[in-house]
Amino acid sequence: MQPPRAPQPPHDLAIQFGGGDFRKVGKDLVSLCVAHGGLRPDAAVLDVGCGAGRIAVALCDYLDASGRYEGFDIYPPGVEWCQRAITPLFPRFRFQLADVYNRLYYPLSSVRASEFVFPYPDDSFDFAVLNSVFTHMRPADVENYLKQVHRVLRPGGGCLITFFLLNEQTRERIAAGAAKWRFEHAFGVFHTHSLEDPEEVVAYDEAFIRKLFAQKGFDISRQIYGNWRGIRSGTHQDMVFAVRRPGTSSPEAG
């Protein structure tokens, strides 16, 4: 029997999480995770900030019967659509709504991302993906989420996390007017393009992010710079592929 075709959210919902061809963007991300992050068809995958299921839909065609997927997000319409449309067809794909504050996506919560504990046991995933999530979060929130990713990944498990990273090259491209955003408002390592809505698009100093991954017990295995900085690239945001360093327990990586 043919496996079911994964559904696609209504256009109005899909475009709230990024533009482009919904299926193609998801499929390309999954291909990059396979090529550079060691994602396998039998993996247990965690999708943090799963939105309206762009990566889940692509994984429906990729994961095999021993693979499984968990996604969570703070934006109710996205999670509700995924629960209603994907899980009944693909029961190994599950979605949860998290009650966590984000000024842009869920300003009603009193729970800070810097204090949120992911609702999964330790060492329970082979791969985690955070696509276009840390590009909307503040430093203390990013630090805690990276610690949580470390806790729920098994030792040796991989992740893909996207960023807008500032380094010498980006600063030159920004100065030359070639980058998509200038990120002109800096607060330490945190940079935003909008004082009215600081979490709309967030960039970090690359040196800070590299140090943070090392501190939290990750080895960066591959980086791909995105075309947002005005270079030719197959990706838009900057991508960091990393592996939970075997031998680091979560408390040590604190």
Which residues on adjacent β-strands are paired with residue 240? 161, 223
For residue 123, the minimal CB distance to ligand SAM (Å) is: 21
* Residue selected from 43, 58, 85, 113 as contacting ligand SAM according to rule CB under 6 A: 113
Q: Which is nearer to ligand SAM, 116 or 218 (CB)?
A: 116
Is residue 239 close enough to count as binding ligand SAM by CB under 6 A? no
Q: How many Å from the N-terminal Cα to the C-terminal Cα in the chain?
A: 47
Tokens 């559904």 locate to: 7
Q: Which is nearer to ligand SAM, 59 or 166 (CB)?
A: 59
Amino acid letter for position 89: L
Q: Which is nearer to ligand SAM, 113 or 166 (CB)?
A: 113
* Residue selected from 57, 74, 152, 179 as contacting ligand SAM according to rule CB under 6 A: 74
* Residue-wise burial string across 124-144, b where 16 or more C-beta atoms lie within 10 A, e elsewhere: bbbbbbbbbbbbbbbbebbbb
Residues 24-63 interacting with ligand SAM (rule: CB under 6 A) = 48-51, 54-55
Of residues 180, 161, 173, 13, the one with CA closest to residue 86: 13
Is residue 75 close enough to count as binding ligand SAM by CB under 6 A? yes
For residue 54, the minimal CB distance to ligand SAM (Å) is: 3
Is residue 152 close enough to count as binding ligand SAM by CB under 6 A? no
Rounded to whole angstroms, what are the CA distances from 143 to 24, 65, 224? 30, 34, 21
Rounded to whole angstroms, what are the CA distances from 26 to 35, 115, 143, 168? 14, 29, 26, 30
**Distance (Å, whole) CA 199 – CA 106:** 12
Is residue 190 close enough to count as binding ligand SAM by CB under 6 A? no
**Closest residue to ligand SAM in the complex (CB):** 51
Tokens 């696509």 locate to: 131
* Residue selected from 132, 144, 192, 237 as contacting ligand SAM according to rule CB under 6 A: 132
For residue 128, the minimal CB distance to ligand SAM (Å) is: 12
- Which residues are at the interface with ligand SAM (CB under 6 A)? 17-18, 48-51, 54-55, 73-75, 78, 98, 100, 102, 105, 113, 131-133, 136-137
